[in-house]
A = this chain, B = another copy of it.
Amino acid sequence: MPKQVDHRERREAIARALWRVVEQRGVAHLSLREVAREAGMSHGQLQHYFASREAMLTFAMDFATEQAASRVDRGLAELGDRPHPRDVLRVMLTGMLPLHPDARATSRMSAAYVLEALHDEHIQARARQGIAQGRTAVEQLVRRAIAEGHIPPDRDPVAETNLLLALTGFTTLIELDVIGPQDTLDAIDLHLDRLFTDSPAR
């Protein structure tokens, strides 16, 4: 195996160990030492891959974002050619929610990262950039759907995009079992039904 690939794979294995620490024991236990123990390596070995807690956390967050993006891409591929924008939005929105075990791991990682971001400028800039990119992608989709007549022309694309982004608020409600997965999907479908003038052909 080429050395570069091996290095990347070890970093991904460490990132997964970090997710497990966050998921099972909480962000309070997120130290290089704790992650090394979970990954089954020594503190020194871990430092060969990550020089600092911040570098490890940032890589683990980037890897979680990549995994979430892959889930969304697989969902979009299943929609076939020329998918209806309502279906595209639904895949993007539900892909961000902890509705499946792997999505739960990345979602908890993301919540921990945002909390770290609040008192670390560098992490904040990265977290902000990632979410702002997602927001831009949703706004482009909304604007195109308005131009193509799928969404009424009198809708404000900025406010509609912001309301769609706010639906990520279901994350906490699902995690704490206040609202179940099916009720979440029902509410999202209701919101999308009111946004679009037409439904996808089935």
Q: Specify which chain B residues have a CB less than 8 angstroms from the CB of A178 in the assembled complex.
A: 128, 131-132, 135, 165
Residue A58 at the chain B interface, CB threshold 8 Å: no
Task: Provide the residues of chain B in CB contact with A190, threshold 8 Å.
Answer: 156, 159-160, 163
Q: Inside 8 A of A158's CB, which chain B residues have their CB?
A: 183
Is A79's CB within 8 Å of the partner chain B? no
Contact B28 A117, beta carbon cutoff 8 Å: no
Bound-state CA distance A167–B163 (Å) is: 8
Interface-side segment among A65-73, A81-89, A119-127:
A119-127
Q: Which residues of B contact A173 (CB under 8 A)?
A: 131, 135, 162, 165-166
| Interface hit among A9-17, A18-26, A37-45, A142-150 | A18-26
Q: Is the interface of A mostly helix, strand, loop or mixed?
A: helix
Interface string of A139-182 (1 = CB under 8 A from B): 00000000000000000101110110111111111011111000
Alpha-carbon gap, A30 to B183, bound state (A): 35
User: A55 at interface (Cβ–Cβ under 8 A)?
Assistant: no
Given contacts A118-B26, A169-B169, contact A162 B184 (CB under 8 A): yes
Q: Which of B28, B162, B166 contacts A30 (CB 8 A)?
A: B28
Interface size on A, residues (CB 8 A): 50
Tell me how far the C-beta of A33 lies from the nearest C-beta in chain B, rounded to whole angstroms.
Answer: 13
- A50–B181 alpha-carbon span in the complex (Å): 37
Contact at B184–A117, with CB atoms within 8 Å? no
A62 within 8 A of B: no
Minimal beta-carbon separation of A151 from chain B (angstroms): 14
- A residues with CB within 8 A of B: 23-28, 30, 108, 111-112, 114-120, 124, 127-128, 131-132, 135, 156, 158-160, 162-163, 165-173, 175-179, 183-184, 186-187, 190-191, 194
